[in-house]
Structure 1
Amino acid sequence: MNRRRRRLSATPIVLLAAILLVTLAGLFGVPMEQAKAVNDTGPAVYVIPVKQTVESGLQSFLERALEEAEEARAEHVILVINTLGGKVVNAEQIGHFIRENKIPTTAFIEGKAVSAGTYIALNADNIVMQPGSTIGAAAVVDGSGTLVDNPKTVSFWTSEMSESAALQGRDKNIAAAMVDPNVTLELKDKIGRDKLKSEILTLTASEAEKVGYSEHTAESVDEVLKWLGLEGRTKIEVAPSLAENAARWLVNPVVMTVLLILGIAGIVIEMLVPGFGAPGIVGILSFGLYFFGHYVAGFAGMESVVLFIIGIALLIVEVFVPSFGILGILGSASLISGVVTAASDPMTAFISIVIALVAAIILIAIFVRMNKTRGIWNKFILRDKLTTEQGYLSADVKDSLLGLEGITITPLRPAGTILIGDNRIDVVTSGEFVDTNRTVKVVKAEGTWVVVKEIVK
Structure 2
Amino acid sequence: MRYRIEEHLYRCSLFIISLLASGLLLTLLLAWPSCTAAQVRGATLLEVKGAIGPAISDYLQNGLKKSEKLGAAVVIIRLDTPGGLDHSMRDIIRAILASPIPVITYVAPDGARAASAGTYILYASHVAAMAPATNLGAATPVRVGGAPSDPGKNEEKKDRQQKDDMPADAMERKIINDASAYIKALADRHGRNSDWAVKAVRESVSLSAGEALAIDVIDIVATDLADLLSQADGREVRMDSGVKRLDTRDLTVTPIEQTWRTKLLSVVTDPNIAYLLVLLGIFGLMYELGNPGLFLPGVAGSISLLLALYAFQVLPVNYSGLALILLGILLMIGEAFMPSFGILGFGGIIAFVIGSIILMDDEELRISLPIIVATTAASAMLLIFIIGRFLMLRKKSVGTGAEAMIGMTGEAIDDFTGEGRIWLSGESWLAQCKDKVIKGEKVKVTAKDGLSLTVEKLKEDM
Aligned twin of 2:280: 262
Kept in 2, the 8 Å contact 1:261–1:360? The answer is no
**Which residue is equivalent to 1:370?**
389
Return the alpha-carbon distance in structure 1 between the equivalents of residues 139 and 409 of structure 2.
Answer: 82
Partner residue in 2 for 1:126 = 127
Give 2:118's aligned residue. 117
Shift in Å, 1:140: 2.5
Q: Deviations over 1:272-319 (max 9, x none)?
A: 52454652463366368x29xxxxxxxxxxxxxxxxxxxxxxxxxxxx
Cα distance in 2 for partners of 1:388, 1:218 equals 88
Q: CA deviation at 1:89?
A: 2.5
- Structure-2 residue corresponding to 1:248: 266
Task: Provide the C-alpha distance between the structure 2 equivalents of 1:109 and 1:377, rounded to a whole number of angstroms.
Answer: 68
SS in 2 for 1:170: coil
Instruction: Say if 1:124 and 1:347 are closer, same or farther in 2 by CA, change over 3 A.
Output: closer
* SS of equivalent to 2:43: strand
Aligned ranges 1:197-236 → 2 under 5 Å: 200-229=204-233, 230-236=248-254
**Aligned CA distance change for structure 1 residues 117 and 378 (closer, same or farther; 3 Å):** farther
Q: Is the CA contact 2:184–2:197 (under 8 Å) kept in the aligned structure 1?
A: yes
1:86-105 CA distances to partner (integer Å, 9 max, x unpaired)?
22222222112211111111
After TM superposition, the score normalised by the length of structure 1 is: 0.55
5+ residue gaps, structure 2: 1-29, 159-166, 234-247, 334-381, 411-416, 420-431, 437-441, 447-462
Counterpart among 175, 188, 191 of residue 166 in structure 1: 188
CA-CA distance at 1:126 after TM superposition: 1.2
User: How far apart are the structure 1 equivalents of 2:196 and 2:295?
Assistant: 60
1:236–1:284: structure 2 CA closer, same or farther, 3 Å change rule?
same
Contact kept? 1:261, 1:356, Cα under 8 Å: no
SS at match of 1:163: helix
Offset of residue 130 of structure 1: 1.5
Q: Structure 1: give runs of 5+ residues left out of the alignment.
A: 1-31, 182-199, 292-338, 391-408, 427-457
How far apart, in 2, do the equivalents of 1:269 and 1:381 lie?
25
> How many correspondences in the alignment?
306
User: Could you tell me how far apart the structure 1 residues matched to 2:433 and 2:397 are?
Assistant: 36
d(CA) in 1 for partners of 2:397 and 2:138?
59
* 1:214-261 residue CA offsets vs partner (Å, 9 max, x unmatched): 222210111111122323222111232344233212122442243244
2:85–2:315 CA contact under 8 A, matched in 1? no
Q: Is the 8 A contact 2:44 2:254 kept in 1?
A: yes
CA distance in 2 between partners of 1:169 and 1:274 (Å): 66
CA contact (8 A) 2:45 2:76 kept: yes
Q: In the alignment, is residue 76 of structure 1 matched against residue 64 of structure 2? A: no
Q: 1:50 aligns with which of 48, 51, 60?
A: 48
For residues 35 and 227 of structure 2, the distance between their equivalents in structure 1, rounded to whole angstroms, comes to 22
**Native 8 Å contact 2:192 2:216 kept in 1:** yes
Q: How does 1:260-339 map to 2 (within 5 A)?
A: 260-267=278-285, 269-270=287-288, 273-274=291-292, 276=294, 278-280=296-298, 282-283=300-301, 286=304, 290=307, 339=309
Q: Is residue 151 of structure 1 aligned with residue 170 of structure 2?
A: no
| Structure 1 residue 175: Cα displacement | 0.6
Residues in 2 aligned to 1:284 and 1:62: alpha-carbon distance in whole angstroms: 31
SS of 2:280's partner is helix
User: How far apart are 1:168 and its partner, in Å?
Assistant: 1.2
Asked if the contact 1:114–1:137 (Cα under 8 Å) also holds between the matched residues in 2, the reply is yes
CA distance in 1, matches of 2:403, 2:384: 22
Q: Are the aligned partners of 1:257 and 1:352 in contact in 2 as well (CA < 8 Å)?
A: no
Question: C-alpha displacement at 1:266, in angstroms?
Answer: 2.6
Secondary structure of the residue aligned to 2:59 is helix
Residue 107 of structure 1, CA deviation: 1.5
Deviation at 1:264, TM superposition (A): 4.8
The percent of aligned pairs where both chains have the same amino acid is 19
Give the secondary-structure state (helix, strand or coil) at the position aligned to 2:185: helix
- Give distance in 1, aligned partners of 2:36 and 2:79: 24
Is the 1:76–1:103 Cα contact (8 Å) retained in structure 2? Answer: yes
Partner of 1:178, secondary structure, is helix
What is the rounded CA distance, in whole Å, between the counterparts of 2:39 and 2:326 in structure 1? Answer: 54
Contact preservation (8 Å) 2:82, 2:114: yes
Distance (Å, rounded) in 1 between the aligned partners of 2:123 and 2:93: 8
CA drift of 1:78 comes to 1.2
Tell me how far apart the structure 1 counterparts of residues 51 and 267 of structure 2 sit (CA, whole Å).
Answer: 11
Counterpart AA for 2:225: V
- Give the superposition deviation at 1:203: 1.9
Q: Does the aligned pair in 2 maintain the 1:85–1:114 contact within 8 Å?
A: yes
